[in-house]
Amino acid sequence: MVNLEELYLEVPPTKLRNIDEKFCPAQTSPFWLWVADRYFYGMLEKRFHGLYYKGKEKFYTQKDPDTPIIMFAPHHNWWDGMVGYNICNRIFKKEIRIMIEELNRFPLIRRGGAFSVNKKSPQASMPALKFAIDTIGDTNNILYIFPEGIIKPPNHRPLNLQTGTAYIAEKAAKKYGKVALMPVAVNYYFLRDNRPEVLVEFGDIIHLNAEDKIDRKEYTHYMGRVLEDLCDKQVEDVHHGNFKGYQVLYQKKLRWYRRIEQRLKKIEPRNSGV
């Protein structure tokens, strides 16, 4: 039985369990990416009525094609990684690179772009941070990060980011000349169907240049405010029924009983207020 009081612990699993996990880099191949693409997309299709996104154009208009990019998003539940994979693979046609704690429990997801991180101590996490810096040098990759470090309750505030993302961004900027950081708001809602729907909004890109001098703690707070503002905007839009600008990654057809309902009412579903 799930203990509700322990759903959101403040201690990362590797530190809580005192685990010394050997670092495992991502290890992709065309075959395994083909498998992962169909498996992870199929899981979303099975569980969610649809996935919608907006702001995709910023990826192309607000940065140069050869600039490495880091996407950073809140972490509310188990599905966030799956959504991140489909964002990178299906929307932007790139490979994801994503940190996973206790990767030894799910070793095959290395083939989809995951790499391990041990948060037992700052020293233990360094191999993952160094790999993250190296891997985004290939602009076919997107580093997709949950900078809070652990799963937090849905829409909690404030967003308390850890400094690891700022560290990666600073080192990557010095190594490659510039790095782009894109905030991503992700939320899950029951709208008009009996299954939830995923809403994704991409925010304005932040650029960090090699010559920029930053204080990592201050820059981390800045990133947290940017991400929080984007997430709050998305929630406010949903509360007011404002879905303007969203594109469809996929959307299930109405179930048979819903189609019968619409025929009986003799009205178009998109114009219905019922």
What domains can you pick out in the chain, each with its CATH number?
A: 15-271 (3.40.1130.10)
- What's the pLDDT band for 257 if we cut at 50, 70, 90? low
**Residue range 67-96: average pLDDT?**
97
265 compared with 221, residue with greater pLDDT: 221
Q: Is the pTM of this model over 0.85?
A: yes
pLDDT at 170 over 70: yes
Q: What is the mean pLDDT of the chain?
A: 91
Three-state SS for the chain is CCCHHHCCCCCCHHHHCCCCCCCCCCCCCHHHHHHHHHHHHHHHHHHCCEEEEECCCHHHHCCCCCCCEEEECCCCCCHHHHHHHHHHHHHCCCEEEEEECCHHHCHHHHHHCEEECCCCCHHHHHHHHHHHHHHCCCCCEEEEECCCCCCCCCCCCCCCCCCHHHHHHHHHHHHHCEEEEEEEEEEEECCCCCCCEEEEEECCCEEEECCCCCCHHHHHHHHHHHHHHHHHHHHHHHHCCCCCCCEEEEECCCCHHHHHHHHHHCCCHHHCCC
Does the structure show a pLDDT above 70 at 268?
A: no
